[in-house]
Amino acid sequence: MDGSYDVVIIGSGPGGYVAGIRAAQLGLKTAVIEREWAGGVCLNVGCIPTKAMLRSAEVLDTMRESEKYGVLADNVRLDYGKVVQRREQVVQGLRKGVETLLKANGVELISGTATLAGRGQVQVAGKNGSGAVQARNLVIATGSRPASLPIPGADTPGVINSDQALELKEPPRSVLVLGGGAVGCEWANIFRSFGAEVTVVEMLPTLLPLEDEDMGKTLQRIFQKRGITVHTGATLQRIEDGPDGGKRSTIAWPDGRTQQVDSEIVLIGVGRKPNSDGLNLEAVGVRPNQRGFIEVDDHLRAGDGVYAIGDVVGKALLAHVASHQGIVAVENIAGQDVAMDYKAVPGVTFTHPEVASVGLSEAKAREQGYEVLVGRFPFAALGRAQTYGETDGMVKIVAEKRYEQVLGVHIIGPSAGEMIHEAVLAINLEATLEDLITTIHAHPTLPEGIGEVAMAALGRPIHIARARR
């Protein structure tokens, strides 16, 4: 520890380490304090390891169906140990990459647990002893952790959260997943590909309740076609010990119906809790709200000389939002006047197929008083999707009727997470349907669907039949 810094960042996740690098670029003497791993939850027990496992699941599914592509593969099977080994190699490589980037930019990475001791005062307790650092500015980037739920039996053996799912030595034979959001659906996808019997329970009427309704309904149909049982509009009433050392879960519906489901394990993939406790935030005049999130303004200020970014803020619990917030926060510290704008934040759920979106759903647009134009275009009508052999899904667009400005784009299908960025740029630049139509898309590609859906919204589609009026 080198005593005094212009900026001290607590947490080295995708918000913290990016903020550290940008601060150093701006000439600020910077330190990042990390109590566990460089790269934070996203890199170590979140985004990256789960995507590595999803890739293994995707390869396994493709190999099982290779005959339809004219490729004969015998004795296709899963080696879970090698799946985990590859996953850890990816994580370790990226973790070292973060450490190298911080060092290359002159950012000091301090290992230990930080506690605030007053304005600009940070106590650090580490394996090699304790010490103190002083900072003209603080950035809180401590992230979040899986939340526990008040369900009877949720704290018993065999009930795990998304972090603990990575600790499994072998895939379960059966699993009940509580939560039909991104986390729950991704794990349901992984376990099903690895051979488990999977049941998903979601309290709201559709899967992916934060997405456009058509996305959740389409994903449910695809999941059910893959043999995943989906219960929407249902709650998990209690979890008990079941036969053969497993769990017995009671599912309930508002009309009084109940059903019991036996599974080897139960995975709770609902909710996250901000890591704001234990920091002694009161010492710098910051009080989290009732949910534990730190409230900030558009410049990410939480108090005098104190900024907060990422999950601990609760605006959007997404790694890429945390990274952007980190840049905005330290640019303001450096004297620039930069505000956060959340109108064009993409979200991706890495199921098979992927789901991606940006902007307003159809329902949200109508709720906000817009008269809308809506277009839908199926992947089955794209030549590239046909050659892929993956034709499930659609592209959906929502536009304001008077000026035809794009309000939202929603995609479920192969490579949706890659396709969405054209739509992000369109919304950021306040593009119209005509702007998308007059943008020439290469053929045959999946992003042709963006131009096609814009034409469909205006009632002049080319590659699907025009709806009769």
The mean pLDDT of the chain is 96
**Residue 249, C-beta contacts closer than 8 angstroms, at least 6 positions apart:** 176, 201, 236, 238, 239, 240, 260, 261, 262, 263, 266
CA proximity to 207, closest of 53, 357, 349: 349
Confidence (pLDDT) at 84 = 98
Confidence (pLDDT) at 2 = 56
Q: pLDDT, tens digit, for every residue of 39-68?
A: 999 999 999 999 999 999 999 999 999 999
pLDDT at 467 over 90: no
Mean of the pLDDT values across residues 177-195?
A: 97
pLDDT at 129 over 90: no
| d(C-alpha 228, C-alpha 265), whole Å | 15
Confidence (pLDDT) at 1 = 57
User: Which segments of 144-280 does DSSP mark as H helices, in order?
Assistant: 162-165, 182-193, 213-225
Q: How confident is the model at residue 126 (pLDDT cuts 50, 70, 90)?
A: confident
Confidence (pLDDT) at 466 = 78
CA proximity to 399, closest of 366, 426, 430, 433: 433
- Exposure b/e, 64-103, CB count within 10 A at least 16 = b: eeeeeeeeeeeeeeeeeeebbeebeebbeebbeebbebbe
Confidence (pLDDT) at 380 = 98
Structure tokens at 320: 């890429």
Residue type for 196, please?
A
Domains of the chain: 4-146+273-333 (3.50.50.60), 159-270 (3.50.50.60), 347-457 (3.30.390.30)
Integer angstrom CA distances of residue 223 from 200, 314, 396: 10, 30, 20
pLDDT at 128 over 80: no
| d(C-alpha 239, C-alpha 280), whole Å | 36
The pLDDT > 90 percentage for the chain reads 96
pLDDT at 165 over 60: yes
Whether the CB-CB separation of 32 and 9 falls below 8 Å is answered with yes
The three-state secondary structure class of 266 is strand
Residue type for 334, please?
A
Max Cα-Cα span within the chain: 74
Quick count: other Cβ atoms within 10 Å of Cβ 346?
Answer: 18
pLDDT at 469 over 60: no
pLDDT at 79 over 60: yes
The pLDDT > 70 percentage for the chain reads 99
Structure tokens at 317: 């619990």
User: How is 390-438 classified by DSSP, letter by letter?
Assistant: ----EEEEEEETTT-BEEEEEEEETTHHHHHHHHHHHHHTT-BHHHHHT
Q: pLDDT, tens digit, for every residue of 296-340?
A: 999 999 999 999 999 999 999 999 999 999 999 999 999 999 999
Confidence (pLDDT) at 285 = 94
324 belongs to the catalytic site: no
pLDDT at 3 over 90: no
Confidence (pLDDT) at 277 = 94
Mean of the pLDDT values across residues 103-118?
A: 96
Structure tokens at 441: 């898309």
| d(C-alpha 398, C-alpha 375), whole Å | 7
Q: pLDDT, tens digit, for every residue of 419-447?
A: 999 999 999 999 999 999 999 999 999 99
Mean of the pLDDT values across residues 194-221?
A: 98
Q: pLDDT, tens digit, for every residue of 224-247?
A: 999 999 999 999 999 999 988 999
Structure tokens at 460: 């002049």
Mean of the pLDDT values across residues 259-286?
A: 95
Mean of the pLDDT values across residues 134-160?
A: 96
Q: pLDDT, tens digit, for every residue of 17-37?
A: 999 999 999 999 999 999 999
**Residue 266, C-beta contacts closer than 8 angstroms, at least 6 positions apart:** 154, 158, 159, 160, 175, 176, 177, 178, 239, 247, 249
User: How is 176-196 classified by DSSP, letter by letter?
Assistant: EEE--SHHHHHHHHHHHHTT-
Active-site option among 299, 324, 410, 443:
443
